[in-house]
Structures are given as structure tokens and as C-alpha cells.
Amino acid sequence: MAIPEKVDAVIVGAGPSGLMLAARLSEAGRKVVVLELGPPWEPKDLISSQIWSRRLKWHGANQLEGRNPVAHNFNAGWGVGGSVIHQYANWPRLHAEDFNVHSAFGRGLDWPFSYDVLRPWYDRIQNEVGVSGDHTREVWRPAGAPYPMPPVKVFPHAERVAEGFQKLGMRVSPAPVAINSVPFKGRPACVYDAWCDAGCPIGALVNTFVTYLPEALKHGAEIRPYSNALRVLTNARGDRAHGVEYVDTRTKERQVQMADLVILSAFTSQTPRLMLNSANDKHPNGLSNSNGLVGRYIMTHTGASAFGLFDEDVQNYMGTSAAQLISQDGYAKSSKRDFIGSYTWMIGAASKPNDFTGIANTQVPLFGAALHDYMKRASKGLVKISAVMEALPNADNRIVLSDRKDEYGMPIARIIHSLDEDALKLFAHAREEGLRIMHATAAKEVWAPPGPPALLHFTGGTPMGKSAADSVTDGYGRAHELANLYITGAGLYPTEGAVHPTFTLHALTARTADHLVRNWGTIVA
């Protein structure tokens, strides 16, 4: 087993959170190595095709169980850049009420801090990477700075649906998106060809190719692709992490990268898997897992959609994979509804003919000549809305190690997930509201898939918290039992709100990066 030179920090996972930390720490003069399991993607790999986009997705095996198995691979990427290289860039903020669900309703968990703590980091990130929107019309948004760019363009397919919302007295506003509505910091404005799901190679959308990867490289961080982390190693006392064992997937050679600081940024599913697989005599249940919470409280957002068909060309092929408008009139959590949970309506995502969110899949029962007819009508006439809905954390939803192993002898992740009554009632509520909204438009035909709910973003599993008894990390992502092991990403969320995770993830990581840079001496001492 080869032992490369010891470094200041080793980071597992080259997604936005890992690369942001690599950029910040190397900028502060630290020697950083990032181990990334996948290949070194470049912008030219972002081929404009829904078929090709699948090459960017996770492909390793997971054992998916429970009544509602997690839609893992749709939501996960691999390779240098991480999942975010083909994100859609819906970037709403969490609301203040999302931070204290347990205190307010006796359900779920509380965050270790309030919205006010994260607010300056949201403001800082939106100016750093670029977010378009209109904070005055986004009436539900908590306090914060105006967006640095005006809203993105709105096409007829979104306008037609907005009419339905308005008829029902519901408000809509421009969607906050990490997409350039105008040129921003030398990056071009969006041209609305809707290839975001296959990756935006021109840099109009926030991905790591235009944010933290070039910064990390500029400051001297080393990114090692094809490096599959297997275990975090600790010192003999078991109170400090001191390196990561990994395998080069091309040569199959095993190596250890020693470091003063270890950071796990390997996405919601793989960070707990690594921690559990790193069990040793001082951490028999897996790293920093005396309370048995590593891997617990995983969550997915659920999704409900409603569709309408127009005879006119509504230009549904124009726009972005993200929404053009949103409505959060149903966001406020209330014990007066028969469920606890928030939801956000996403309006006017553009459509391609094929793939999971493509036009053909909006009418799965159709086949044969009927499918051809439908494709011809819907490819210009389909409108859609989808709700992003909160699911409350539940300790039984969890990641454990499977009996099955991968080719390197590491147990694969067994991901067990079922939706509770609240989530199912919220789905029924949103679906029924979606149908009402569509019926209020001028669409000729209206429908909404009956369920089960779609499963969206994957969060939790390593929740942060105030007390070591009921969480996995502190508010900076530091594992409670290892002074120099940090975790990043949406796995840290105690609750998930009803907004996409990545703006919050950026804000949280920026806060942690600042903390690490300021307190380096004490953290690695």
C-alpha cells in the first residue's frame, strides 16, 4: 500500500461543497487533496442530449428498500464537479420556520441555529456565484439582500399556468435561480435552450466548472479523480481522524492519504456509508456513532405534478430545466392542516421529449400509435407544474451497511425509506390543488398522476444539532467524537423545508469554510 505525502486537509468528494472547502483552505495556504471517485469531467463532456446526460449520474449499486425506495441515482452525480454539474439551479432559500420544526410542532428535529445565522451566508453566496430573481415579488422569502440579477425570462407555457394561479387568488413570483439572466462576472447570460439537465457548458448556470473547481486549482489544491475512498482512519486513541484509505479505480492500487483534517463531502448516501465502514476498536459502530445516529433521519422531498394540454404552441421547449415562476402560498406550516409540512409550486420548467422528466413520461399509460399522437400534440402544447414537498425526518429512515459488497470489498449502502402519513396527506393535498390550478387555466385537457409521490432531493443521515446526544455533528459539521472530522452537504440538514437543497448547502459550507480558516490552529492542534 503506497503512502503519499501527508497534507493539511483531505476531502472526499469533488462536488460543490468539497470543492468550495478545497478552494477556501488552499487560498488560506493549506495543502489540500480532494479524492474523487469518478472521472475528471470537463465542460465538453456536457453533451446536449437527455440520453448522454445519464453518463453524469451515479451508477454504483445501492440496496434500496422500504415502502418508498429513494430515487437515488436520478439525484446523484459522480466525477469531478459532483452532482451539481447538471443541476437545474432552482435556488430558493429555506424559511425561518424551517429551522425550528421540533420546537414548534414537537415533530422532527431543530437546526442548531436560526435562519438569521445563515442569512449573511446566503447573501454572500448569491453575490459570489450569481442568482437571478426578484426579492420584492417573492413575498414569502425571508429577509436578505436583493438578488444580484433580475429574473430570468418567462415563456408562454409558464404564463398560461400563472393565469390559473391568479384565477384562484394565488400569488406567483419570479423563481430564484442560479442562472444568469444577464452576463455576470464574465459569464454569459442564459440562451434558454433548456439543456441544463445535461449540463450547461457555457457557464450561464452555477456549476463547479465556473465556481470552485478553477478556484481550488488556482490556489494549488490537488484533485485526484478515480480515487474511491473506502475508510477514514483514526489515531490509536480514536479521538482524531488522521487519513483516508482509498483505491485507484484504474490501477486497483490501495493508498492512504494522511492529513491533519479530514472532510467528508461524498453526498447524502456515501458519507454515512464511509463512516459506518470505518468502524474500528474505538468506534465499533462506525465513526463517531456512539449514539447510533449515523445514517438515520434520511429524507427526500416528495413531488406532485399536474399537467395541461393546449392546442397552441406554448413554447414549452424554451426556458431552463429550472422553474421560471414559483408560488409558496402553501409554505407556512400549520397544525390546522391535517399534515405538518411545507410545499413550493414550481412553474414553467421547459420540457424535452425523452427521459424521466420528459414529455413521453407525462402519460406513461400511452403506447403505440396513441403515444405518437400524444408526442405530436404535447411537444408544443404541454404545460406543467410540480410541487416540491417537505417530508419530516424519521429515525427509521436510514442508511446501514448491506451484506452485499462492491468490487473493492466495501459493503454497499442499504437505504431504507418510507413516507409517513403527513407526507402522503401533503401529496394528496398538493395534487388536488394542482388539478384545481390547471382546471383554472385555458388548457383543453388536464390531469395529475395519482401517485405514489415522486421522490426528489436526498438529504439527512448525518444531522447537525446542538447536543451530541441527538445529532451527528455540531453546527459547523464537525463530528461529535472526532475533533478534526468534518462533514458537508445536505446530509447535515435536520429538516429539509420545501426548497431545493443547494443554495443552503453553499451557504452552510461557506460558513464552515470561514470557521475552519479562522480556527485552523485549534482545530488541527
Ligand X SMILES: Cc1cc2nc3c(=O)[nH]c(=O)nc-3n(C[C@H](O)[C@H](O)[C@H](O)COP(=O)(O)OP(=O)(O)OC[C@H]3O[C@@H](n4cnc5c(N)ncnc54)[C@H](O)[C@@H]3O)c2cc1C
Cα gap 509→492, rounded to integer Å: 11
DSSP collapsed to 3 states, 146-166: CCCECCCCCCHHHHHHHHHHH
> Nearest 10 degrees: CA dihedral of 146, 147, 153, 156?
-60
- 489 belongs to the binding site for ligand X (CB under 6 A): yes
User: Which residues within the stretch 315-334 sit at the binding site for ligand SF4 (CB under 6 A)?
Assistant: 320
Of another protein, ligand X, ligand SF4, none, which one does residue 88 interact with (CB within 5 to 8 Å by kind)? ligand X
- 248 belongs to the binding site for another protein (CB under 8 A): no
Beta bridge mates, 234 = 241
Cα gap 319→312, rounded to integer Å: 17
Beta bridge mates, 263 = 11, 486
Determine contact, residues 63/402, Cβ cutoff 8 Å. yes
Q: What minimum distance in Å lies between the beta carbon of 188 and ligand SF4?
A: 8
CA dist 389 to 62, 339, 342, 424, 457, Å?
Answer: 24, 11, 6, 10, 10
Determine contact, residues 98/57, Cβ cutoff 8 Å. no
- 408 belongs to the binding site for another protein (CB under 8 A): no
Determine contact, residues 282/274, Cβ cutoff 8 Å. no
3-state secondary structure of 276: helix
Q: Which is nearer to ligand SF4, 50 or 418 (CB)?
A: 50
Q: Which residues contact 486 (CB under 8 A, 6 or more apart)?
A: 261, 262, 263, 264, 473, 476, 477, 478, 479, 512, 516
Q: Which is nearer to another protein, 209 or 476 (CB)?
A: 209
Single out the residue of 132, 181, 265, 363 in contact with ligand X (rule: CB under 6 A). Answer: 265
Q: DSSP alpha helices (H): ranges in 258-366?
A: 267-277
Q: DSSP alpha helices (H): ranges in 244-395?
A: 267-277, 369-381
| Residue 162: CA count within 13 A, CB half-sphere | 19
Of ligand X, ligand SF4, another protein, none, which one does residue 358 interact with (CB within 5 to 8 Å by kind)? another protein
Single out the residue of 13, 112, 133, 203 in contact with another protein (rule: CB under 8 A). Answer: 203
- 72 belongs to the binding site for another protein (CB under 8 A): yes
Cα gap 420→427, rounded to integer Å: 11
Of another protein, ligand SF4, ligand X, none, which one does residue 59 interact with (CB within 5 to 8 Å by kind)? another protein
Of ligand X, ligand SF4, another protein, none, which one does residue 408 interact with (CB within 5 to 8 Å by kind)? none
- 212 belongs to the binding site for ligand SF4 (CB under 6 A): no
Single out the residue of 205, 210, 325, 505 in contact with ligand SF4 (rule: CB under 6 A). Answer: 205
Cα gap 325→138, rounded to integer Å: 10
User: Which residues within the stretch 81-140 sit at the binding site for another protein (CB under 8 A)?
Assistant: none
Using the contact rule CB under 6 A, the part of the chain among 152-160, 164-172, 478-486, 497-505 near ligand X is 497-505
Single out the residue of 194, 385, 440, 507 in contact with ligand SF4 (rule: CB under 6 A). Answer: 194
Q: Which is nearer to ligand X, 62 or 441 (CB)?
A: 62
66 to 85: interface string for ligand X, x by CB under 6 A: ---------xxxxx--xxx-
Phi, psi of 442, deg, nearest 5: -95, 20
- 379 belongs to the binding site for another protein (CB under 8 A): yes
- 89 belongs to the binding site for ligand X (CB under 6 A): yes
Q: Is 68 exposed, middle or buried (0-12, 13-18, 19+ CB in 10 A)?
A: buried
User: Would you say the C-alpha torsion 131, 132, 138, 144 has a positive or negative sign?
Assistant: positive
Of ligand X, ligand SF4, another protein, none, which one does residue 317 interact with (CB within 5 to 8 Å by kind)? another protein
Cell numbers standing for residue 21: 472547502
Using the contact rule CB under 8 A, the part of the chain among 108-116, 253-261, 363-371, 390-398 near another protein is 363-371
Q: Which is nearer to ligand X, 355 or 422 (CB)?
A: 355
User: Would you say the C-alpha torsion 491, 492, 496, 500 has a positive or negative sign?
Assistant: negative
Beta bridge mates, 233 = 243
Cell numbers standing for residue 283: 468506534
Cα gap 332→98, rounded to integer Å: 9
- 212 belongs to the binding site for ligand X (CB under 6 A): no
Of ligand SF4, ligand X, another protein, none, which one does residue 270 interact with (CB within 5 to 8 Å by kind)? ligand X
Q: What minimum distance in Å lies between the beta carbon of 55 and ligand SF4?
A: 16
Q: What minimum distance in Å lies between the beta carbon of 236 and ligand SF4?
A: 50
What is the bridge-based pairing of β-strands 299-309 and 63-65?
unpaired
Single out the residue of 192, 297, 307, 317 in contact with ligand SF4 (rule: CB under 6 A). Answer: 192
Of another protein, ligand X, ligand SF4, none, which one does residue 379 interact with (CB within 5 to 8 Å by kind)? another protein
User: Would you say the C-alpha torsion 114, 116, 118, 122 has a positive or negative sign?
Assistant: positive
Beta bridge mates, 290 = none
- 222 belongs to the binding site for ligand SF4 (CB under 6 A): no
Q: What minimum distance in Å lies between the beta carbon of 382 and another protein?
A: 11
351 to 370: interface string for ligand X, x by CB under 6 A: --------------------
Using the contact rule CB under 6 A, the part of the chain among 126-134, 299-307, 475-483, 499-507 near ligand X is 499-507
Q: What minimum distance in Å lies between the beta carbon of 60 and another protein?
A: 8
Determine contact, residues 89/205, Cβ cutoff 8 Å. yes
Name the residues that contact another protein, by CB under 8 A: 38-39, 42-52, 54-55, 57, 59-62, 64, 69, 71-74, 78, 187-188, 191, 193-195, 200-203, 209-210, 213-214, 317, 352-356, 358, 360-361, 364-365, 367-369, 371-372, 375-376, 379-380
Name the residues that contact ligand X, by CB under 6 A: 12-18, 35-38, 75-79, 82-84, 86-91, 197, 227-229, 265-267, 270, 274, 322, 489-490, 500-502, 505
